[in-house]
Amino acid sequence: MADRLTQLQDCYDQLATQFYASIRYLTLHHNSSALTLPPPSSPQHNHNNSNSNANANFNHEHQESFSYLPEKRPDTPTAFASAQRELAQDLLLKTKQIEYLISVLPGVESSQEKQEVRIAELDVELREALEERKKAEEEREIWLGRVDGIIGEIKR
């Protein structure tokens, strides 16, 4: 299982995805009238023909970018309201999960002095564990030497 900070980051990513999905749903399924693009402005009559072509190309590309959106499919008012409630409940649930993960992070409810004392205790424990490891490695080397000696005598 992942640590709490990783869980918290995953929840924030999921929340962002839920926000995007909610906005997309609301955009595609509402029954309001769609916004229309302003009529294309007439190109200025200019002696420089390349400037007129650039304006025409810009207007054409600008209009195509709006036509990229999928066609709007409005839901019934009842279905839309139900979906809105469900999306809102999902967002609230995810934010409560995030709040819980934040509340159980170490150090949220302890003062800086308590945290420093705990860090010092952990540092002492770490040094003791490193000493034990060093002694175990030395003992392993001794036993390895003995086993090598026994194997060497057996080979003779």
For residues 94 and 68, give the distance between their C-alpha atoms in angstroms, rounded to a whole number: 31
Q: What is the pLDDT at residue 113?
A: 85
pTM score, two decimals? 0.50
Parts of the chain with a pLDDT under 50: 45-51, 54, 58-60, 62-68
Contacts of 5 (CB under 8 A, 6+ apart): 105
Q: What is the pLDDT at residue 69?
A: 55
**For residue 135, is it within any domain?**
yes
**For residue 83, is it within any domain?**
no
**For residue 126, is it within any domain?**
yes
**For residue 39, is it within any domain?**
no
**For residue 70, is it within any domain?**
no
Q: What is the pLDDT at residue 109?
A: 67
**For residue 61, is it within any domain?**
no
**For residue 154, is it within any domain?**
yes
Count: domains in the chain: 1
Residue 11 CB neighbour total at 10 angstroms: 18
Q: Domain containing 150: what range? A: 111-156
**For residue 142, is it within any domain?**
yes
